[in-house]
Amino acid sequence: MDLDLRLVRSFTVVADELHFGRAAARLFVAQPALSRQIRRLETSLGVELLDRTTRRVELTAAGSSFLVQARRLLAAGERARAAAQQDVAVRITVGFSAGLTITDAVSAFRADYPKAEIRMKRLEWFEQHDAVRDGRVDVCVGRLPIDDTDVAVSPLYEEPRVVMLPAGHRFAGKESLSILDLADEPIARHEGAAAWDAFWRVDPRPDGRPAPDGPIVESVEEKLEHVASGDCIAILPASAADRHVRDDVCSIPIHDIAPATVAITTRREHHPPMLVAFIDALSRTSRSNSAPLLTVSDQPAPRPDRPANAAG
């Protein structure tokens, strides 16, 4: 019997997630297509691998036994592919947003493909979509919201958001704040991107009031300058807590707003095998550093009494 390794890999991802929606997102396929793949694998094996209902997905006894061998089979396949391609020159251009690092993914990928050339390009928030669509980068690790016109966007993990305040602000030193505490504070704006602006300004606020307008900004550095000068506040991802450190700015967690989502963006067309391998490295290393789709309570909150930093 011939086993399709693509189907085997799909099964292992479903087994990891025990959720077809999350597994489909990781595999960059539609959920119905993933369900069909699993059915094809089960048919070829002549056993049911998963016990699925509308509420849960669990491995059957046969599925648990097959999963052990499936992982070994895929590992052997990866070793064989790496051996065959170790002398092939590959070039991948990776975009990443402020405050995000891709070092672990690059290292993991180069361990399998030492001849690969990885080019890295730092992107501002407003460049994420266009850089992928026009081919300046092959893949982007950035933050939502991202326009998904002509590109594929897959969530990677979540992180809480914090408010950036001048060090002498009346709220400096608070353990956390509600977004309603900031109702009268002018907040930095992002021109020409309604969805991005609404999310990062929390506009409108939960009580329906509009967010007060602050200055228009494009970069992390501009935000910090305006915040430090007392012109406005800014809401930023907590992963920036150790970046752009300044004594005149502090960060405080906001406990009642949705977290930010870090996502992978690629073009919609067929992905070359090497790009698929790099995306897999991104997924694996992000899980080792911060589990995918964490909730706000799962992440450590930045200390309010330390100098803070920002990201776009």
pLDDT at site 16: 93
pLDDT at site 308: 37
H-helix or E-strand spanning residue 96: strand 91-97
pLDDT at site 13: 93
Task: Give mean pLDDT in consecutive 10-residue pieces for the chain, a chain of 312 residues.
Answer: 86 93 87 92 93 87 94 88 66 89 91 86 92 93 92 91 94 94 94 90 93 91 93 89 77 94 88 86 72 33 34 37
pLDDT at site 99: 82
Half-sphere exposure of residue 100, counting CA atoms within 13 Å on the CB side? 34
DSSP characters over 262-299: EEEEEESSPPPHHHHHHHHHHHHHHHHHS-TT--GGGS
pLDDT at site 89: 61
pLDDT at site 138: 94
Contacts of 133 (CB under 8 A, 6+ apart): 149, 150, 151, 267
Domains in the chain: ranges and CATH? 5-84 (1.10.10.10), 91-155+261-292 (3.40.190.10), 159-259+300-308 (3.40.190.10)
Exposure b/e, 239-260, CB count within 10 A at least 16 = b: bbbebbebeebbbbbbeebebb
pLDDT at site 179: 95
Measured between its terminal Cα atoms, the distance across the chain in Å is 52
pTM, two decimal places? 0.65
